[in-house]
Every structure is written in structure tokens, then in C-alpha cells.
């Protein structure tokens, strides 16, 4: 479903890591996320999607309109950027980070 979507929207404001957003991004989908909790870390505004003001339906509608008004190639480029951004959340890198922490690596030593 993510692959065929034109955009993925997460209106919730209680997302910590938002695995569904990461799944959508891995399918090269542009994202439209509430500007809350950890969600802003998953958006480069205008590059892979947009943030909207939580509980502001006018802002959400404006951002959806902006995404749907983009030419296909620009929306595709946003999706490609989403895919590139999500690579850092892959299982191999995540496990390596946990192993590094377990072995005593400092925050500065981690490849995040």
C-alpha cells in the first residue's frame, strides 16, 4: 500500500519512533507529519515531505494540497529522499549501535 501511495500522513502527536512512518519512507513515499514528538526528525521540510501544525486542519489541508500539486517527478524525488533517509534505521546499523553501546562506546563514538 505504501508503494502505491502518493503521500503518507501521520496526524498523531504521540509518536515516538513511528515505525509506520519509517515503513512508508522505506517504500519511497513522501511524508506529511505532525510537528510533534520524534516526527520532526523524520522530515526535511520540502525535501521528503512536510510538517504541519498539530490539530490545525487548515495547515494540514494546505500541506496536502502542496504535495498533491507537485509534478510527479518532484513527488517522486521526495519519495527517493525518504528512502535515503530511512537507510540509517536499517536493522544492521541499529544492531551495531546497540552492540557498540553495550560494549561501552560513548555517544561521540557512535555512527548515528
CATH code for the domain in which residue 13 is found: 3.40.50.2000
Cell of 47: 525535501
Please state the domain count of the chain.
Answer: 1
Tens place of pLDDT for every residue, the chain, 112 residues?
Answer: 888 999 999 998 887 778 999 999 999 999 999 999 989 999 999 999 999 999 999 999 999 999 999 999 999 999 999 999 998 777 887 788 778 887 877 767 766 6
Length of the chain: 112
Q: Are 13 and 32 in contact (CB under 8 A)?
A: no
Q: Is residue 111 part of a domain?
A: no
Q: Residue 96 contacts by C-beta under 8 Å, 6 or more apart in sequence?
A: 111
Flag whether 1 is in a domain. no
Q: What is the DSSP string of 13-33?
A: S--SS-HHHHHHHHTT--EEE
- pLDDT (0 to 100) of residue 111: 65
Amino acid at each position: 500500500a505504501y508503494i502505491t501511495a502518493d503521500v503518507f500522513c501521520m496526524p498523531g502527536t504521540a509518536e515516538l519512533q513511528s515505525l509506520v512512518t519509517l515503513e512508508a519512507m522505506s517504500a519511497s513515499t513522501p511524508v506529511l507529519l505532525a510537528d510533534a514528538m520524534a516526527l520532526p526528525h523524520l522530515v526535511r521540510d520540502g525535501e521528503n515531505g512536510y510538517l504541519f501544525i498539530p490539530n490545525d486542519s487548515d495547515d494540514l489541508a494546505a500541506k496536502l494540497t502542496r504535495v498533491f500539486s507537485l509534478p510527479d517527478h518532484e513527488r517522486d524525488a521526495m519519495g527517493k529522499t525518504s528512502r535515503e533517509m530511512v537507510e540509517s534505521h536499517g536493522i544492521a546499523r541499529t544492531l551495531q549501535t546497540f552492540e557498540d553501546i553495550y560494549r561501552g562506546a560513548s555517544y561521540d563514538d557512535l555512527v548515528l
